[in-house]
Amino acid sequence: MELNRAKGTRDFLPEEKILRQEIEDTLKKVFEVYGFSPAETPILERYETLASKYAGGEEILKETFKLKDQGDRDLGLRYDLTVPLARVVAMNPTLKMPFRRYQIGVVFRDGPLKTGRYREFVQCDVDVVGSSSMKQDAELLMLTADAFKALNLNGKIKVNNRKILDALLEAASVPEDKRNAVILSIDKLEKLGLETVKKELQEKGIFTETIDNICKWISLKGTNDQKIKELKKILLNKQGLQEMEELLSYTPDVIFDISLARGLSYYTGTIFEVYAENSPITSSLAAGGRYDNMIGLFRGSGTVPAVGISFGLDTIMDVLMAKKKEVKKSVTQVFVLPIKTFPEAWKIAQELRNANINTEIDMLDRNVSKNFDYANAIGIPYVVVVGTEEVKKKKIKVKDMGSGKETFMTVKDFIKKVNQ
């Protein structure tokens, strides 16, 4: 049998998982400080839910893993955490509004196999349901800025508004039924470049003059204010621009990027993406936006405004790994090495554990040098040697693996030293 992972998936050994865990903990802390509480939905969803016309749209459905249970029911693996959130809110009409939750979980996309793209990846989502205020969009952008600060990353935040794109396509005379298709093409601008997008638009039956106008307008240069001023001259429907002006009044440190489109069809207002500055990784690290229609349509009545952002744990990890010089291979702080003293050494190990010190003890009866090699290889900072001499004197020999220094001391003093 050939041993391998499923294509497009990854294993994380401790040297990567420890960092991954740290990123997750950092994000959780920022989410909670902003008044969000955790929630969880299943990975398996009814296929009907994922395929609903109110959900992610055709493009993403093509990449959805489909399966059946023993009862022949059609199921799918969730492709994001937003559609399941909409289902939960629609199913729980007594939920207190605003509903502020975060969720960290695996999502799946059966897309083409490319470097840096995974078929199974973790999204860390923060959403507010029940608020249509632009202040809410601004709060999420501030949370995002704080999250990247906490991760020690320079995140460049780009914002746009679907209403601006709609008005722009209206001004360029794109027929209403083709606007979504055009937005999907614009979304690929960063990846494919202007010429390829132009060609794709031609293939979609858009007139050359229209394409030229769209491309000119989405490429407008200048400050945020200059772009808004220019667009005011072009667009008839100015609601998106007004929303953008309000948003920018609360969060001046973001970049208004008219070409930002976002692939998912459910967005209705503000959209945003975050990129790492000075990194070889060019994919977005976080993205999101406002989707005011989805939940109401799922529920079948009324409108339920919602806005959210999703942090990509895998991409953030890739960016941080690319920066990192050293990796931690273990969270263990102490390795206890008994030399013909297992029962006594075991008691010492339990004493350290009771003092909340992460402790491993040799179970293999290996010789001293092999044990030191092991502790060194996985990066355990202290080795505690317990020989018959140490037992007699009620002390331990502590080797600091960083400095190489050896010290005789009592277990109590050692606990103080580690926990200080």
Residues 62-101 that bind its own copies (CB under 8 A): 65-67, 69-71, 73, 75, 87-88, 90-92, 95-98, 100-101
Residue indicated by tokens 């998936």 = 9
Closest to its own copies by CB, 29 or 199? 29
Q: Is residue 131 near its own copies by the rule CB under 8 A?
A: yes
285 binds its own copies (CB under 8 A): no
From residue 383, alpha-carbon distances to 77, 330, 337, 338, 365 in Å are: 46, 14, 7, 10, 15
Separation of CA 394 from chain center = 50
Write out the binding residues for its own copies, residues 328-347 only, by CB under 8 A. 329-332, 335, 342
Interface stretch with its own copies, choices 29-37, 177-185, 229-237, 271-279 (CB under 8 A):
29-37
- Give the one residue of 277, 363, 402, 420 binding its own copies; rule: CB under 8 A: 363
Written as six digits, the tokens of 33 are: 């400080």
Provide the minimum distance between the beta carbon of 32 and its own copies in the complex, in angstroms, as a whole number.
Answer: 5
Among 59, 110, 170, 344, binds its own copies (CB under 8 A): 110
CB of 293 to its own copies, least distance (A): 15
What whole-number distance in Å separates Cα of residue 97 and Cα of residue 100? Answer: 8
Q: Does 401 bind its own copies (CB under 8 A)?
A: no
Contact, 50 vs 64, CB < 8 A? Answer: yes
- Edge-to-edge strand order for the sheet containing 306-312? 37-38, 99-108, 120-129, 306-312, 286-290, 270-276, 155-161, 255-256
Binding mask 302-321 for its own copies (x = CB under 8 A): --------------------
Under 8 Å between Cβ of 118 and 112: no
Rounded Cα distance between 383 and 402, Å, is 11
CB-nearer residue toward its own copies: 101 or 158: 101
* Per-residue CA distances from 79 to 90, 269, 290 (Å): 19, 21, 18
Q: Which of residues 181, 255, 321, 378 is near its own copies by CB under 8 A?
A: 378
What does 214-225 look like in DSSP terms, one character per residue?
Answer: HHHHHT--S-HH
Contact predicate 183/266, CB 8 Å = no
Where does this chain touch its own copies (CB under 8 A) — which range of 236-244, 254-262, 263-271, 353-361? 353-361
Q: Tell me the number of residues near its own copies by CB under 8 A.
A: 92
Find the shortest distance in angstroms from Cβ 87 to its own copies: 6
* x/- map, 188-227, its own copies, by CB under 8 A: ----------------------------------------
